[in-house]
Amino acid sequence: MKELFDSVSNSCSELVTKKYSTSFSLAVNTLSPKIRADIYNIYGFVRFADEIVDTFHDFDKEKLMAHFERDYYFALEQGISLNPILNSFQQTVKRYNIPDHMVQAFLKSMKADLNKTEYNTKEEYDEYIYGSADVVGLMCLKVFVNGDDKMYEELKDAAMRLGSAFQKVNFLRDLKDDFELLSRSYFPNIDLGKLDKISKQLIIDEIEADFDYAYNNGILKLPVEAKFGVYMAYRYYRRLLKKLKSVPSEKIMDTRIRISDPMKINLLARSYVKYKLNII
């Protein structure tokens, strides 16, 4: 009956993904069925940790995070958890030999969000992004290459750059909530209360460089099981960035950029045509 419980756990991670992010779940659904569940499992884990630090304001976040981390390591040791999200994630970690330093880097960045509100140096900023985004890309890459260490080494820099690009787009999109509701300022040496055109363009240039590197050195070289799904996520975030570029810097704090459902379907259709024509 453990197989039934594991199946239910995987379904819970899939449900979390679909409820929290229609865009990401759309991209995951275009991955090969052989790897889809494991990407859902990774997302479920990182989403729950992120919810603790960003949403559960009426509870003791530090205790919740400590409990979450402790329960994860218990699950990893025992091979089971009654928390279905942790149960499914620990299976993926073991199945693809995801190293613990990646999980620790991720948890370190999440725990930083409990108290740290400003990133004053590039070193602090880079370390946070590595833990909150880059290692998530590396976890997914572990699934995509399925034990091919040579391919992993070839693609890992691109996976990190893509994770960084996604995170920086999120920072730019969520400036208002991060700054006004959570009192956070991730971009170093930039006054978000007075974001000017030059500062905004520097951020966009950095993101576009990450995207270009990830596309040319990673996405185009991914295994067929993963290529279309990752390309779909890339196209979605590039469209978000395009919309953010069009918003004047003085208005960006007052604007919540979204991609409409019809546009998501349009992106999916156009991306699929390019994929089938071997343009990507």
- Taking only the tens place, the pLDDT of each residue in 111-137 is 999 998 888 899 999 999 999 999 999
pLDDT tens digit string along 93-103?
999 999 999 99
> Percent of the chain, pLDDT > 70?
96
Average pLDDT for 154-166 = 97
Residues 6+ apart with CB under 8 A from 225: 31, 32, 34, 35, 144
Average pLDDT for 170-193 = 77
> Percent of the chain, pLDDT > 90?
71
pLDDT at 277: 62
**CA-derived radius of gyration, the chain:** 19
Amino acid residing at 91: Q
Q: Are 174 and 167 contacting, i.e. CB atoms less than 8 angstroms apart?
A: no
pLDDT tens digit string along 34-71?
999 999 999 999 999 999 999 999 999 999 999 999 99
Would you state the structure tokens that stand for residue 175, as one six-digit string?
């400036």
Amino acid residing at 277: L
For residue 276, name the pLDDT band (cuts at 50, 70, 90). low
